[in-house]
Structure 1
Amino acid sequence: MIAGFDEREGFAAFLLRLRGKGAVPKPLIAAFEATPRPAFISGQFHSIAWTDRMLPIECGEAMEGADLQAAVITALNIEPGHRVLEIGTGSGFTAAVMARLAARVVTVDRYKTLIELAKQRFEALGITNAFARHADGSNGLVNEGPFDRIIVWAAFDALPRFLLDQLSSGGSVIAPIGPEEGEQVLAKLIKVGSRFEREDIGTVRFQPILPGVAAII
């Protein structure tokens, strides 16, 4: 729950920014409020936890700004019965938020350290329907689908059509698409029969998706 003064103030400012961009679903606000963002980052960044700044985390990675995370989770339109796949666990924060909206969240990352920390954070918060896996997510998670929603926090250089095979009918995937250098388009793909409909949400700058898992960390 929202605890310290700085965090309450930061969270209030975050909500104001979200509402300034349009209507915010009440379940989403409740999910964010119930997930203490500072618990997912180093203490030196607690005062700016709810800003839209990218924040450093372990393994040389970074956590996306709160506003972008909220925009993506809003666009996913997660419903209570949904199964969600997240590729790129990072700190575990977005998986924790989505777990409060969905039936089940499976999150994968190539870094074992990030997976172990995410598991510890889920357990500390009493989240029992989010499952962190140390795995190569560059091809999705073939044996665990179908999923109703898929979110990818790394960029593909071309449309990831193979992820549509892991979606349920009417399901959707959000992924950055574009070159390694420069901006990428954040695209939402909705599965309609054997094809998909595409809606571009905005532009982002993400690291390219990497195959395999990290050998040591």
Structure 2
Amino acid sequence: MTDIAGLLRRLEKGGIPMTASIREAMLNVEIEDFTDYETEPFYVDRPVPFMETDAGAVKTISAPHMVATLLHHMELNSGDDVVIVGAKGGYIAALIATIVGEHGFVRVLDPSQDAVLHVRQRLTHWPTVEVRELESVDVAPVAFPGDLHRVLVTGQINSLPHWISDRVIEGGFILAPLGPKSSQQLMKMELQDGELMPTDLGPVAFGPVDVRRGEPGPMSADELADMIELTIQTCEDLGLIEDDERHAMQDLVVNLRNLPDDLPPPGEGMIPMEEHPMIQLMWEAAPSFFRLWPMLQTMLHPNLAQPGAEDWDDENESDDGEFKP
């Protein structure tokens, strides 16, 4: 078996929180039990796929540093009841079931029938894990327990469904990557005195919980507007955008969001490409849009950190051995 212990040491050295219970679970639950794909990337701190749809959407198990980070922020204890929205191949469910023990319980919910079948097959011998198919992330499952203590959403959603936020008990919390598909913020929301109190844990990039939303296809007007807004914010943070460029791009965002909701994406709906309203708006904003195109490309293809990669130590240690995150 590939060196999981070495990976965990690199993660800890890279600043990833690693409690004894998380370390023990990751040492004992083997990633190979949850995917038939090659697992070598996992041991250099990369995600690994566990299924692919006929339409080309890929569902992955998160990179080890993100798995450990999610487990850390879940604050798990023996006997906890945990709800996981998003299958992640069953790997995270197995880790959590290991941590909460025989007196805890884990419920996995996913809107993909294929993902549910995959996880059920992989967790056949885990008596404290239940796997159910969701009609939709936004629709409450039938005959589901009323009170929620710990909820982990393992994929991108735009906002929390009411059936989750309304059921969290006092002192319970939800951990979820909230935002558009282009980027999200990892949010931890704890119910205190009857109010969900949010804590922003930083930017993340998760695929959608619903695998159908991850299938390749043309970008909608709202998705393009989200991407342009993110580009504006990033360029502002880096001091790379002029006022006239910002105003022009903000106008473009407004115009994109004002397009009809039922407008088909470019290349669909029998609208000639050059006549499509999205294309026309983009060409009108070309003087500001194209100068920042390299930044937009960076948003589309981020270079994610891998603190568990085998070369991380060499790249982040000075001559005196001091680690630099």
Q: TM-score, normalised by structure 1?
A: 0.83
Aligned to 2:173: 172
Aligned to 1:33: 27
Structure 2 CA distance, aligned partners of 1:158 and 1:164? 10
Aligned to 1:185: 185
After TM superposition, give the deviation of residue 191 of structure 1 in Å: 0.9
After TM superposition, give the deviation of residue 195 of structure 1 in Å: 0.4
Tell me which amino acid in the other structure corresponds to 2:27.
E
* Equivalence map 1:76-115=2 (5 Å): 76-102=74-100, 103-115=104-116
CA separation of 1:178 and 1:35: change in aligned 2, threshold 3 A: same
1:130 equivalent to 2:129? Answer: yes
Could you say which structure has the higher strand fraction? 1
CA separation of 1:159 and 1:111: change in aligned 2, threshold 3 A: closer
**Larger-Rg structure:** 2
- Equivalent residues, number: 201
Gaps of 5+ in 1: 213-217
Aligned to 1:57: 50
After TM superposition, give the deviation of residue 12 of structure 1 in Å: 2.1
Aligned to 2:218: none
Tell me which amino acid in the other structure corresponds to 1:77.
E
Tell me which amino acid in the other structure corresponds to 1:74.
H
Structure 2 CA distance, aligned partners of 1:111 and 1:100? 24
Tell me which amino acid in the other structure corresponds to 1:13.
G
After TM superposition, give the deviation of residue 106 of structure 1 in Å: 0.3
**Could you tell which deviates more after superposition, 91-100 or 198-207?**
198-207
CA deviation map 1:70-96 (0-9, x unaligned): 100110011112111101113110001
After TM superposition, give the deviation of residue 163 of structure 1 in Å: 2.1
CA separation of 1:119 and 1:197: change in aligned 2, threshold 3 A: same
1:16 to 9, 12, 16: 9
Provide the aligned C-alpha RMSD in A: 2.2
Structure 2 CA distance, aligned partners of 1:121 and 1:161? 30
Structure 2 CA distance, aligned partners of 1:65 and 1:22? 12
SS, match of residue 127 in structure 1? coil
**Could you tell which deviates more after superposition, 59-68 or 142-151?**
142-151
SS, match of residue 188 in structure 1? strand
Q: TM-score, normalised by structure 2?
A: 0.57
Structure 2 CA distance, aligned partners of 1:127 and 1:159? 28
SS, match of residue 169 in structure 1? strand
Aligned to 2:230: none
Tell me which amino acid in the other structure corresponds to 1:171.
G
2:41 to 26, 40, 48: 48
Structure 1 CA distance, aligned partners of 2:176 and 2:154? 7
SS, match of residue 120 in structure 2? helix
8 A contact 2:39–2:48 mirrored in 1: no
**Could you tell which deviates more after superposition, 128-137 or 182-191?**
128-137
2:67 to 69, 76, 90: 69
Q: Among the aligned pairs, what percent are the same residue?
A: 21
After TM superposition, give the deviation of residue 42 of structure 1 in Å: 2.1
CA deviation map 1:90-118 (0-9, x unaligned): 31100010011220000011222222221
Could you say which structure has the higher helix fraction? 2
CA separation of 1:137 and 1:108: change in aligned 2, threshold 3 A: farther
The ranges of structure 1 where at least 4 consecutive aligned residues each deviate by more than 6 angstroms after the TM superposition are: none
CA deviation map 1:112-155 (0-9, x unaligned): 222222122212xx321011112235135473231211011222
SS, match of residue 16 in structure 1? helix
Structure 1 CA distance, aligned partners of 2:85 and 2:63? 17
Aligned to 2:121: 120
Tell me which amino acid in the other structure corresponds to 2:95.
V
